[in-house]
Structure 1
């Protein structure tokens, strides 16, 4: 399928009654192509296009994990080192007070969500603030503290997969301390945003939006708008990046097509499964799933974003619906596309 595929896929977006964009690229396509429909801002009637940036939320975790792997391949980070001595001491103290064995939790456990860290985003307090005080400013320590006062460990380290935003917030702190660089600077440099032409991409509150790009899209859950939600609600490693579907799909292609890591063994390490329960579901910053008989590595973001790569077909696809309520239909459309090119 080539760029003419855009004409074939444009009508498919009508299945989603919300603004949606999809972009496909990779070595398996003759040419990249994208499709989009709807309005990025319903008030000023600005169209949603494949160039419109949006918050990618937890898709950021793939970038953070890949950055950790870049440090690992240079010998600057031991994935199996305990986190106790790597974290900011105040965070280590919070974890230990809540009953966590910080001498047993490793960087790898944080990367594959097997550390047993309770997820602060699942608390009633976090939900109340998100819905009722969108201008509230959080810190990394605030969110780790919320996790620790809400619950102790959900499991012993290395026992089972349990998704945790808080774990990636801790990982972000470790990466800053190990590299002596702010997380936004570190990820930009190690993921080679500038060299790769990722011109719509920035880390909110930590970097200015790139010059000349269109404004960020409005994002909703049903009729409730969250565009004005302070970025600190999801900023410290579990989320934080803004980009368009072109950059998101392009990054997945760069990652799997040897334009990020120096050695193929590094990608193999990122895709390796642990021995814990449900380890096959989530590797280091990526979910693994099958679409038909084709293995696809993927991640989603809370506000309705999705990024996938199929090693068998060499195709990367990124999608975004500006109403999270229609994420399931977006996922089905992307699956249909991946089956079509398999």
Structure 2
């Protein structure tokens, strides 16, 4: 494994004055993460986008990190998978409140049923809001195993088996919030069966990637990296490089997408400003709070928190990505760092920007 290089002081900045922060202050905050870091913000209707970046995407190639540099976004992918499921729901092609036993692959259903999971009672909605009572295969031991065998090719079935071998149901379906990557692997399978194609093609088509000009976005393995995009940044976990870890370790719905911070902010802006779904009610459905324990902090593929005394929707990705949307400020802010350990500092910076925007009268 390769040790992470120290970030160089490359700086690329647009005017961020309307984000209520001076450029010098922003750059100081980005550098304080002590890792290559980039943010991008988009206001209402995609107007006046602004971004900043510090450090190198690949120091050995002297490739600077920019707002167009793609990275693996890991669990940020869940927001896309959830939005795809809701697009199918608004078209009448997928029910949210029926048991997954009739929707998922028979072999996966059999595995779950044999371990005591009640697939006739577990619904798509419960998978989306993590209330299905499913164990999570992507635990600390799994990460250790992935890093020990970086070239290993994983299958969806193997990952589901890992989850159910470790534990039977963590509770009745619909009882409580319990985060589970395994649930989103099942969602990926359900979406493929509902559309008759790959998860990658369904997400791209239903979420209108081409219309939204997401030119630095692709699903690894299933799609080629788009032409003319920058090389993917090198990413690190505790100083250990994970750039070339086989993407199948997080490919089937819990993760899978690679994209730039600009594209993540652009999609999030489009999603919350009504340019992804056909019907306004679909976004309402996505953001509707469940009745289970812990439902206040997570909806269908998106987290909810209060930042600067205002409600914000967000999601993070394990390797060092995050995106927030503030309805009050009508603003999407995405951030990437190439070092997983720098993600807390990145989240703090993004939340500071959001709080300042929410305290302003109007964001242009």
Check whether TM > 0.5: yes
Tell me how far 1:150 sits from its aligned partner.
1.3
Residue 105 (structure 1) shift: 0.3
Given candidates 147, 150, 154, the residue that maps to 1:138 is: 154
Q: CA deviation at 1:12?
A: 2.3
Aligned to 1:182: 198
| Structure 1 residues 160 and 325: alpha-carbon distance in aligned structure 2, compared to 1, 3 A threshold | same
Residue in structure 2 matching 1:270, options 286, 292, 308:
286
1:47 is aligned to 64
Mapped contact 1:253–1:309 kept (Cα < 8 A): yes
Tell me the distance in 2 between the aligned counterparts of 1:320 and 1:303: 9
Q: Name the counterpart of 1:87.
A: 104
What is the SS of the residue equivalent to 2:30? helix
Q: What residue in structure 2 maps to residue 23 of structure 1?
A: 40
Aligned length, in residue pairs: 340
Aligned to 1:114: 131
CA offsets 1:215-252 (integer angstroms, 9 cap, x no match): 10011112111001100000000000000000000000
Q: Give 3-state SS (helix, strand or coil) of 2:253's partner.
A: coil
2:85 matched residue in structure 1: 68
List, as ranges, runs of 4+ consecutive aligned residues in structure 1 with deviation greater than 4 Å.
Answer: none
- Structure 1 gap segments, 5+ residues each: none
What per-residue deviation string (whole Å, max 9, x for no partner) do you get for residues 138-197 of structure 1?
Answer: 011110111111111111100000000000000100010011121000000111111110
Contact 1:303 1:323 in 2 (8 A): yes
Classify 1:332/1:29 alpha carbon distance in 2 versus 1 (closer, same or farther; 3 Å): farther
* Aligned-CA RMSD value: 1.3
Question: Any idea what SS the aligned residue of 2:254 has?
Answer: coil
Q: Which stretch of structure 1 is more off in the superposition, 4-13 or 67-76?
A: 4-13
Residue 113 of structure 1 contacts residue 162 of structure 1 at CA under 8 Å; is this kept in 2?
A: yes
Shift of 1:278: 0.5
- Asked whether 1:14 is paired with 2:31, we answer yes
Task: Compute the TM-score of the two structures, normalised by the length of structure 1.
Answer: 0.97
1:304 is aligned, of 291, 311, 320, to 320
Residue in 1 that maps onto 2:233: 217
**1:45 Cα offset (Å):** 1.9
Corresponding residue number in structure 2 for 1:279:
295
2-structure distance, mates of 1:336, 1:160: 30
Q: Which runs of 5+ in 2 are unaligned?
A: 1-13, 359-364
Give the whole-Å Cα distance in 2 for the aligned partners of 1:128 and 1:4.
40
